[in-house]
Structure 1
Amino acid sequence: MKVLHVISSMNPETGGVCEAVRICAGGLQKLGIQNEVVSVDEDIFNKTDIFLQHALGPAANAWHYSKLLLPWLSANITRFDVVIVHGLWLYHGFAVYKAFNALKTSGIKPKLFVMPHGMLDPYFQRAKGRRIKAIRNVIYWSLIEKKLINSADKILFTCETELILARLPFWPYKPKSETVVGLGVIAPPAYNIKMADVFKNTVPGLNDSPYLLFLSRIHEKKGVDLIIDAYKQIAKSQLSSINGKVSNLPKLVIAGPGLDSNYGIQMQQTVAESTLLKNLVYFPGMLTGEAKWGAFYGCEAFVLPSHQENFGIAVVEALTCNKPVLISNQVNIWRELCEAGGALVADDNKTGTYDMLSTWQKLSLVEKQKMGVNARRCYDQHFEVNAVINRFQEVLFN
C-alpha cells in the first residue's frame, strides 16, 4: 500500500498543515504503509523524517506554481493506491486535479482524498480586511476548486465542527463523501532540565518567573492583540501604589514566526512603548526542539484567543505537557477540551479574553493543577496519535 501526500510547502513556518502531514505520513509509515510527500519547496526542511520527500520548487509566486509538479504527478501518480491533497487555494490542488483528469480513460486510478485543514471555514469569507481575497476565493472556487472537491472520493476533516462549517461558504458544494478522521499529535519527549535551560537562554530576563505561553504564528487571526490588551488591563489592576510594580502576575511569552511582519512589528512596538509591559512581555521568535518543549513544560498555561483555528496543533501539544489551555470558542476543538475540564473558553474579543485571563488569575493552585491533569486526560482520549492513525488507515483503505 502506498500513499502520496501533496502539499504546497513543508516549511514549519507556514503553519500547522505541514506538521499535520508529517504526523499522518510518519504514523502511517510506522504501520508498514509506504508514504511519500511532494511539495513545491526548493529543499527538504526536515531530513530526519522517515518518509520519502520530493521538493519540486522553486515556486516563488502567490499561487505557488511550479512547472515541475504536474509532469512529476503525471509520471508518478499511478504508483500510489491513495493520493491526499492537503490544503486548498494553491496550485498543488489544481495540478492533482489535472493529473487525475488525464487518467479518466486509463483504467488505473488511485483513490483521491482532499483534506482542507480548515480552509473552507466561512471565517475567511467574512473577516474584515479580506474582502478582495473573499471575492478571489469565490471566483477561484467556481473555476477550479469546486472541481477538485466534488471529484474527490472523500473529503477528510479533523473534527465535526470543521465538517459542518465547510458546507457554508461556497456553492455548489457537493462532495461524494465526507468523514471526520481527526488529527493526532505526537506526545513530547520526557521533560529534562536541559529543555528548561535552553528555553531560558532563548528568553533573557525571564529567569525563573512564572509565565503564560502563546506559541503560534504572530498574526492578526491568532488574536495576539487581544492577549496583550487583556494582559495590560490585568497588570494595571495589580499595579502596586507603593512600589509601582506588578505583583502576582505571571509574565507573558509570545513566541512564533511573524515578528518581522507589519502586525508583528506593531505588537512589539505596543509592548516596547508601554512602561508597564516592556518588562513583562517577551517575543523570543520561533521556538523549536528543546527550546519549544522547555517553553511548554515550564508555562502555567497556554493561551490562544484565535479568531479561527481549525484544530490547533500547538493547543494539543500543550495538553500533552499537562498544561491547561486558555482559548477562544473559535478553536474548533474547544468543546472536547472544555468538556474534559482542561480549558477555559471565551469569545474571541477583548471582553472575552480579559474575562478568561482574569478567571485564570483567580483560580487556586489546586484548581490549576487539576486542570493540567484533565488536559492530559483529554489528549489521551481524543488526540493520541496511534488511535487517530489507525482510524486514518481504516478510512483510506476500506
Structure 2
Amino acid sequence: MKKRLRIIAGVNPSEGGPIEGIRQQAPFHAAAGIEEHVVSLDPPDAPWVQNFPLTVFGLGEPLGSVPEWKRRLPWRRYGYRPALLPWLKAHVRDYDVVTVHGLWNYSTMAARLALVGSGVPYLAQTHGMLDPWFKHNFPVKAAGKQAFWLFNEGPLLNNAGFVLFTTEEEKILARESFGPYRVNERVIAYGTSDPGPFKPEHAEAFRAAAPKLKKPYLLFLSRVHPKKGCDLLIDAFADVCRDRDDLDLVMAGPASDEYLAELKAQAAQKGIGDRIHWPGLLRGDAKWGAFHQAEAFVMPSHQENFGIVVAEAMACSRPVLITNKVNIWREVTASGGGLAENDDLAGTARCLAAFLEMPPEARALMGARAREAFLRHFQVSQSAKDVNAACLDAIASRT
C-alpha cells in the first residue's frame, strides 16, 4: 500500500475528533511509507486547509464567494459541492485504498456514487454516527435518515471492505440504527498522541486564555453542544459545589453564539455565573495547560463513540468523570482511572460528589491509573497500525 485517500466533509479542527484522529495518525503512516491525501468540502483557501499536515483537496468555493442566502439552501447545508463527484471519479483509481469518514452529508453521497461498483477497495468509519441515541432522541430526523440509508449510506457501508468501529460497544450499538444492515464489521484501536510532561509554557498559555481563573477547577473541554451534556454539568456543579467556593468550572470549546448565551443564562440563574470560565477553543500549549492543571476532566455526554478528549485527559494523568454513554467507559472504570454514571442530572451530580468526597491521595491514585490506562489502551501508534492492517486486508479481498 503506497497511496491512500481519505474522504471527509471538512478538516476544520473545530469539528472535533474525526479530523484530529487523521491528523495525529499522519506521522505514523508517513513513517510507514504511505502517502496520504484528503479530499473535503472545505474552501480551498481556508486556513485550516492550508495548515493541515497532509495534502488536502478542498473542493468547496473560496471563502466569501457564496452569499449568505445561498449558504442557507437545504442542499448547501447538506454539503453539496458540485466539484467533488467529478474529482472523485477522475482520481479514486490513483489510490490503492480509500477511507470514507462520517455519514449524512454530501461527501458520503459522492463517495457512494464514485466507489460502489468501481472495484476500488474502500473502508468506511462512521465515528459514532450510527449510535441509536440519535434515533431515539430525534425520531423525525431519524425517519429521514432511514430514507437516506436505503439509497445512500446503506449501499455505501454494505459494500465497504470493512466498516471500522473504535469499540465493541460502538459496533454493537450501530446494529440497532438503520436497515438493511449487512456491513463487514471491524473494531480497531483508537487513541491520541502522548502529550508528554507538563511544562511551564503550558501553564502560561492557559493562564492567558483564562485570565480570571484563580481557583482549582474542573475541566470540560470539547464542543460546547447539547449532546455533550453541558446543561447537566452546569446544574450538577451548582447543586454539588454551591457551598464550596474553592472550586471553579472551565467550559472550554467552540460553541454557537445562541447556545453559549443559553448556557451563560442558565449559570447566572443558578448563581454560579462568575465561577464558570469560557475560554473557547483551546489548542497547543493552552490545551495541555488546561488538562494538566485540572482537578479532573468532566464530560457528561449523552453519546460519544470514543471521546478523544477523554484519552487526552488520561494521558495527562487526570481522573475522568464521564457517563456510561461514552463508549470507552468500561475501560475507564475497570482501570480505576475515572468514574462513570448515567447521563442525567442525578448521575452527573453523583459522579461529581463521589470524586470531590475522595481524599487527595485517592484522587492522585486515580490520576496515575488513568495515565496507565492511556498507555495500555489509547496510544495513537496502535490505532495507526490497526488502520493499515484493515486497509491491507481490504485490498487483499479485492485481488
Q: TM-score, normalised to structure 2's length?
A: 0.91
1:150 to 139, 148, 158: 158
1:256 to 253, 256, 262: 253
Q: What does residue range 99-178 of structure 1 map to in structure 2 within 5 Å? A: 99-101=114-116, 103=118, 109-127=119-137, 130-175=138-183, 177-178=184-185
Q: What does residue range 385-396 of structure 1 map to in structure 2 within 5 Å? A: 385-396=380-391
Confirm or deny: 8 A CA contact 1:251 1:281 kept in the other structure: yes
* AA partner of residue 250 (structure 2): V
Query: What is the match of residue 311 of structure 1?
Result: 306
Confirm or deny: 8 A CA contact 1:29 1:51 kept in the other structure: no
2:265 to 253, 265, 269: 269
Q: What does residue range 304-383 of structure 1 map to in structure 2 within 5 Å? A: 304-383=299-378
| Separation in 2, partners of 1:341, 1:189 | 21
Confirm or deny: 8 A CA contact 2:100 2:125 kept in the other structure: yes
| Separation in 2, partners of 1:214, 1:294 | 13
Give the alignment's Cα RMSD to 1 decimal: 1.6
Confirm or deny: 8 A CA contact 2:228 2:303 kept in the other structure: yes
Confirm or deny: 8 A CA contact 1:253 1:283 kept in the other structure: yes
Post-superposition Cα deviations, 1:216-258, rounded to whole Å, max 9, x if no partner, equal: 111111001111111111233x2xxxxxxx34x4210011111
CA positional deviation for 1:197 = 1.4
Query: What is the match of residue 5 of structure 1?
Result: 6
Query: What is the match of residue 287 of structure 2?
Result: 292
* AA partner of residue 76 (structure 1): H
Query: What is the match of residue 56 of structure 2?
Result: 53
2:106 to 91, 94, 98: 91
Q: What does residue range 141-290 of structure 1 map to in structure 2 within 5 Å? A: 141-175=149-183, 177-207=184-214, 209-236=215-242, 238=243, 246-247=244-245, 249-260=246-257, 262-274=258-270, 276-290=271-285
Confirm or deny: 8 A CA contact 2:253 2:280 kept in the other structure: yes
| Separation in 1, partners of 2:386, 2:13 | 25
Query: What is the match of residue 397 of structure 2?
Result: none
* AA partner of residue 30 (structure 1): A
Query: What is the match of residue 28 of structure 1?
Result: 29
Q: Which deviates more from structure 2 when the two are superposed, residues 323-332 or residues 194-203?
A: 194-203
| Separation in 1, partners of 2:51, 2:32 | 18
Residues paired across the two proteins, number:
378
Q: Does residue 82 of the first structure (1) align with residue 97 of the second (2)?
A: yes
Confirm or deny: 8 A CA contact 1:268 1:283 kept in the other structure: no
* AA partner of residue 53 (structure 1): V
CA positional deviation for 1:392 = 1.8
CA positional deviation for 1:91 = 0.9
Post-superposition Cα deviations, 1:162-199, rounded to whole Å, max 9, x if no partner, equal: 11111111110011x21101212011153211211121
| Separation in 1, partners of 2:29, 2:218 | 34
* AA partner of residue 377 (structure 2): H
CA positional deviation for 1:24 = 3.3
Identity of aligned residues (%): 39
* SS, match of residue 201 in structure 1: helix
Confirm or deny: 8 A CA contact 2:235 2:345 kept in the other structure: yes
| Separation in 2, partners of 1:376, 1:116 | 27
* AA partner of residue 211 (structure 1): Y
Q: Which deviates more from structure 2 when the two are superposed, residues 62-71 or residues 44-53?
A: 44-53
| Separation in 2, partners of 1:101, 1:53 | 23
Q: Which deviates more from structure 2 when the two are superposed, residues 186-195 or residues 368-377?
A: 186-195
* AA partner of residue 248 (structure 2): K
Q: TM-score, normalised to structure 1's length?
A: 0.91
| Separation in 2, partners of 1:184, 1:198 | 25
* SS, match of residue 326 in structure 1: strand
| Separation in 1, partners of 2:264, 2:26 | 37
| Separation in 2, partners of 1:265, 1:259 | 9
Query: Which ranges in structure 2 are unaligned for 5 or more consecutive residues?
Result: 394-399
Q: Which deviates more from structure 2 when the two are superposed, residues 12-21 or residues 52-61?
A: 52-61
* SS, match of residue 37 in structure 2: strand
Post-superposition Cα deviations, 1:239-290, rounded to whole Å, max 9, x if no partner, equal: xxxxxxx34x421001111151x3321101122344x312211111111121
* SS, match of residue 273 in structure 2: coil
Confirm or deny: 8 A CA contact 1:184 1:389 kept in the other structure: no
CA positional deviation for 1:22 = 1.7
Confirm or deny: 8 A CA contact 1:5 1:85 kept in the other structure: yes
* SS, match of residue 297 in structure 1: helix
* SS, match of residue 279 in structure 1: helix
* AA partner of residue 183 (structure 1): Y
* SS, match of residue 214 in structure 1: strand
* SS, match of residue 9 in structure 2: coil
